[in-house]
Structure 1
């Protein structure tokens, strides 16, 4: 009996660890994927993994009760208590965001959204998870591949997806705002009205105190030993693309963007200097940068206008990158340097370090 409980507890712990890793991994991946199909798949997996943790509560309760029966477990609070609390915060804040029932809370004058609480708790949860699992040696074993265990894993996956489907059904039946969010989980804010779009930046990046205007701003175009300096106002070549800015802050907006494509810019200004190129690195005055594959240069825009109006400073004036199909973290603002490189586009951190 004791051995059976031990095996059940171990399987519950491994299932809990697996769901936490899946939820965390898909959460990080969701920041990078902006296409509707890929973003939807990742969002569903993330939501199902998070809600699936609730299905493990009865089994995990047995494990906790058995652990509390040991005197050593009562000496001091362990990382398990922090882990439980953080998981609860992550689930509650994630559900609130998906329902659209929570806007922002004011904390010392600073608005804090449910999604920000969700991400912040997840980051701290990662530290608590490492502390909790360190030295416990609950590694996968051959016995974990037995038919009974695999059937249990399949049932957990099916139950998690079913629970996610139930919550989505609730949002639709009740008419909650969550029923209208995009495949990536974002809510519409300011489509065809750039002034209504939130002004957000990635991590420590900030709006320059004195961003250059369209008349004085300059963009340096570099390839090999060749460098060309262009005035930002001269980058309005009439190239247009309708693209969705899907911000990792939880909102999206569709706009008609105007400017010049990277392909046109490189071909007109550098000619053969970029013949050996593999990617184009676009850098902001703040140091924030992203590399774009050369194959995407024809549909990637250096934009000076949105919805027929010049960009505002908060939205990247005088020039910003427009990268269709990519999340907002790729849409570099306040561009001042464009470099043609002969190294692969993926030779960069998954997320900007600036």
Structure 2
């Protein structure tokens, strides 16, 4: 039997690899914003693209194996080898995470390593394409053979992703206890005993409540300012914090409803966004109707928030990912338009 008929043509494999990597990068970034079950398809697509890459990469490596012998190595080929090693490591760490693996890298872990290796693939791939890019043609990537082969590869990828959860359940691995985002449970219902993480480099000195205040500014008729003892736990909400670092934790949060603060300040009817600003300069905005239902928490499970978790005040935004739950909030700014600069601020605020 000629097994080559069951596999895509060499050029179709190359383009399949490119599409898989592009899909992995796009969905990997998108998973940062997938907080509700309705967006779970993004994670599923990311996983299926990973399985497809697992299938295609060995085909590519087998075809070019004779080019990477020591006597035939050139600078571009060394770069190609690095790309193959990095892609393989990214796939391996992703699979290891799915099946419950862990790795202690100080402040980082296995999930961070997977993300880092994945982000290294695109620049290596672009440099590789500088030497190896071929324009696709109907003859090289089309045809019945390629269509049938890719239909099989995609089907196998989807089935593989679906059976991993029953396998995890059967084996009782840590990977069995994951949300649709891939995050694992850690510290639910146990006060401040859940992981302390900060986006990029946010690490301020502990806030002195005697010097801290919360300001409500922007498009409001009555700008307001509150001392620490004036922001009491008047409302509560059970909410799940799902961090992009790969863990989730569910708690009862107590604090003040943002809508009450906006009403007290008499927010302008033309206002559309509410921005939450940290003492570090970090900031994030929510649409005003969503912001009204959000909570500014002072307590978690009857414990006062610790410094690492945002004392004296942190945003609780259900169905949003952890990096959007702004910590050490010092200002609420109401506006008609969202500030474009906040996308830059979240990367440089801690610096």
TM-score, L = length of structure 2: 0.88
- 1:105 is aligned to 104
Structure 2: gaps spanning 5 or more residues? none
Deviation at 1:339, TM superposition (A): 0.4
Partner SS for 1:202: coil
Partner SS for 1:243: strand
Deviation at 1:260, TM superposition (A): 1.7
Q: Identify if the C-alpha distance between structure 1 residues 230 and 41 changes in structure 2 by more than 3 Å, giving closer, same or farther.
A: same
Question: Does residue 1:280 correspond to 2:279, yes or no?
Answer: no
- 2:59 is aligned to 59
After superposition, what is the alpha-carbon deviation per residue over 1:126-182, rounded to whole angstroms, capped at 9, x for unaligned?
221111123533344455454443333322211111222333332121111101111
Structure 1: gaps spanning 5 or more residues? none
- 1:78 is aligned to 78
After superposition, what is the alpha-carbon deviation per residue over 1:248-305, rounded to whole angstroms, capped at 9, x for unaligned?
1111111111112222211112x1x422111001110011110101120232111111
After superposition, what is the alpha-carbon deviation per residue over 1:189-219, rounded to whole angstroms, capped at 9, x for unaligned?
111112210110011222x223233x54211
Aligned mates of 2:134, 2:191 — CA distance in 1: 51
Aligned mates of 1:274, 1:78 — CA distance in 2: 60
Aligned mates of 1:277, 1:322 — CA distance in 2: 21
After superposition, what is the alpha-carbon deviation per residue over 1:5-31, rounded to whole angstroms, capped at 9, x for unaligned?
xx8211111101111111121111111
Q: Identify if the C-alpha distance between structure 1 residues 297 and 68 changes in structure 2 by more than 3 Å, giving closer, same or farther.
A: closer
Aligned mates of 1:351, 1:98 — CA distance in 2: 32
Partner SS for 1:221: strand
Q: Identify if the C-alpha distance between structure 1 residues 37 and 345 changes in structure 2 by more than 3 Å, giving closer, same or farther.
A: farther
Residues 99, 177 of structure 1: 8 Å contact kept:
yes
Partner SS for 2:223: strand
Choose from 154, 167, 170 the match for 1:170. Answer: 167
Q: Identify if the C-alpha distance between structure 1 residues 251 and 166 changes in structure 2 by more than 3 Å, giving closer, same or farther.
A: same
Partner SS for 1:352: helix
Q: Identify if the C-alpha distance between structure 1 residues 351 and 288 changes in structure 2 by more than 3 Å, giving closer, same or farther.
A: closer
Residues 291, 346 of structure 1: 8 Å contact kept:
no
CA RMSD of aligned residues (A): 2.5
- 2:217 is aligned to 222
Q: Identify if the C-alpha distance between structure 1 residues 243 and 15 changes in structure 2 by more than 3 Å, giving closer, same or farther.
A: same
Partner SS for 1:56: helix
Residues 214, 226 of structure 2: 8 Å contact kept:
yes
Aligned mates of 2:17, 2:89 — CA distance in 1: 16
Question: Does residue 1:320 correspond to 2:314, yes or no?
Answer: yes
Residues 276, 332 of structure 2: 8 Å contact kept:
yes
TM-score, L = length of structure 1: 0.87
Residues 244, 253 of structure 1: 8 Å contact kept:
yes
After superposition, what is the alpha-carbon deviation per residue over 1:101-138, rounded to whole angstroms, capped at 9, x for unaligned?
21x324xxx24311011011112222211111235333
Deviation at 1:42, TM superposition (A): 2.0
